[in-house]
Amino acid sequence: MTNSLPRTGQGFLSIILHAHLPYVRHPEHDSFFEENWLFEAMTECYLPLIGVLDRLHADNVDYRLALSLSPTLISMLRDDLLQTRFLKYLHSRLELAEKEIIRTRKQPEYQKLARLYRRFFLNALDTYQNRYQGDLLAAFIKHQATGKLELVTTAATHGFLPLLNVSETAVRNQINTGIATFKAATGSAPSGFWLPECGYYPGLETVLADAGIKYFFVDTHGVMDASEQPRNGVYAPLDCGNGVAAFARDPESSKQVWSAKEGYPGDFDYREYYSDIGFERELDYIAPYILDRETRINTGIKYHRVTGGNLPKEIYNPRQAKAKAYRHAQDFIDKRRGQIDRLEATMDRPPVIVAPYDAELFGHWWFEGTHWLECVLRLASEKASGVQLISCGEYLTQQPSLQAATPAASTWGDQGYSGYWINETNDWIYPLLHKAELDMEKLANDVKGLALTPLQIRALNQAARSILLAQASDWPFIMKSGTTIDYANKRITDHLARFNYLHDSIRKNRLNERYLTALEIMDNIFPDIDFRDYNPSNVSAGYKPDKH
């Protein structure tokens, strides 16, 4: 039992954005389609988000926001090759926008939009190249230092932990490597942790506590179906019994943003994501800006609004869409205030409404999303709003006494459990992943105490990288969703093949340094990885390398 606290007549809103992309770096090719996932997110989401933070800072707005940065994304944002390719991507988009301005000279409404895109790409280039010298992480770290932005992280390659839990060592390495990568990049340790896909199982809080984590997030039913009935529903965190807190997603605020039918992004005035000149212009015209001059892809230049129904798509009106985003932000704050007013009468502490979203929704999928977010943060910061922004870390400081209970196994996927990540489309991967993990653990144990050469150590560390990369939750997700299935299959099979090659070469002491070097160049993530972390006896003995 916990002591009741006096009501303070206030309630809190905690917005968390989860920024993550799988590791899509391909130095073996001059250009690669999946690298565009990163470039599109940088252009349409991360750079506009930095613009929001910069403006809020310039206007001295007292906002609070949490941002989860995945280790794979951190690594790609700091990668020299990808930074160079991103600049090339931006310049190509600028060139296309210039061509569009000329092409639409007799269509003033379309030319107005073409000019908007030129300004958009120029602003992205200026922010990236001149304001932050190609280092987007530096921008986020700068805003973290103000105390208004809280940065947290997730597992190393976003491995789906409930299905990796056949080996605690696998789970520990996903968590510890992720945190080590975050610390090396930001210079600080995260208090919070985003469980990949919000995938939780009872006992995971022990591994998180060992890693120094104070809180994590689960979906609504993770708390509502906990071992003890939550007295405050999802509007106060639970103590998992070891001092680690579990915050649950609020279904109301989630539905307003996520729902395909009822959510804001589907409004008829907003830009239509699926109307892109990469699919609409003549092939000869668009060829220089698509894949291999043949395969049509998104260019980011889109001229139509959602419109609705089966009606012909109408031209996009940015001013109208921006005004709608402001009204939706007002509606969002009004509804949160109404929630808080209702909750206050039933709770022994101020309620906290936890609103977690994928960061890439804002700006990329929902073009106006970053403007909506800025409006929400500005409106909530006003004293009359009746809603106070807070980070989950701050809430725990203010409300240290929590109800103790163990959350239920849960995810934020379809149906709330693991079905999206293990089903008839992708279940074949798990025996292979589990075997590779056990082979790695046995190898790490077998070489313990041996005098290893520098080449052997490099090979062992590269094998550990291959294991982590194969475990990414993105690949089974893609297999189920049916998008780039061939690429997802190839990523898993390639990483497992690289692991198996290294494992066998180490066992037989037949290492090819040239091939090893090639693998190190292709998969250069986690430079400080230590294969010894895969020895289960080190974990059971409480072994913790200094770098962790």
pLDDT one digit per residue (tens) for the chain, 548 residues = 333 333 345 899 999 999 999 999 999 988 888 999 999 999 999 999 999 999 999 999 999 999 999 999 999 999 999 999 999 999 999 999 999 999 999 999 999 999 999 999 999 999 999 999 999 999 999 999 999 999 999 999 999 999 999 999 999 999 999 999 999 999 999 999 999 999 999 999 999 999 999 999 999 999 999 999 999 999 999 999 999 999 999 999 999 998 877 899 999 999 999 999 999 999 999 999 999 899 999 999 999 999 987 889 999 999 999 999 999 999 999 999 999 999 998 998 999 999 999 999 999 999 999 999 999 999 999 989 999 999 999 999 999 899 999 999 999 988 889 989 999 999 999 999 999 999 999 999 999 999 999 999 999 999 999 999 999 999 999 999 999 999 999 999 999 999 999 999 999 999 999 999 999 999 999 999 999 999 998 764 443 443 33
Task: Report helix, strand or coil for 368.
Answer: coil
- Residue 266 CB partners (closer than 8 Å, separation 6+): 259, 260, 306
Distance CA 384, CA 334 (A): 11
Binding-site residue ranges for substrate: 249, 266, 412, 474
Write out the catalytic residue numbers: 197, 358
Give the tokens for residue 414.
């379809």
Distance CA 508, CA 497 (A): 16
- Residue 412 CB partners (closer than 8 Å, separation 6+): 197, 198, 219, 249
Distance CA 116, CA 440 (A): 52
According to DSSP, the β-strands at 238-239 and 352-358 are unpaired
State the DSSP code for 44: I
Alpha helices in 107-167 (DSSP H): 108-125, 136-144, 161-164
pLDDT the model gives residue 258: 85
- List b or e across 410-425, with b for residues whose CB sees 16 or more CB atoms inside 10 angstroms: bbbbeebbbebbbeeb
Distance CA 186, CA 276 (A): 36
Give the tokens for residue 317.
């009106």
Task: Report helix, strand or coil for 248.
Answer: strand
Give the tokens for residue 477.
């997700």
Cβ atoms of 405 and 230 within 8 Å: the answer is yes
Q: Would you list the DSSP string of 251-268?
A: HHHHHHHH-TTTSGGG-T
pTM for this entry: 0.95
Cβ atoms of 366 and 306 within 8 Å: the answer is no
Q: Number of helices (H) and strands (E) in the chain: give both, helices first.
A: 22, 10
Cβ atoms of 466 and 403 within 8 Å: the answer is no
Task: Report helix, strand or coil for 500.
Answer: helix
Q: Phi/psi of residue 246, each to 5°?
A: -115, 120
Binding-site residue ranges: 249, 266, 412, 474
Q: Phi/psi of residue 22, each to 5°?
A: -70, 165
Residue-range domains of the chain with CATH: 423-540 (1.20.1430.10)
Short-list 207, 210, 205, 208, CA closest to 238? 205
Cβ atoms of 152 and 66 within 8 Å: the answer is yes
CA angle, 543 then 519 then 544, to 5°: 5
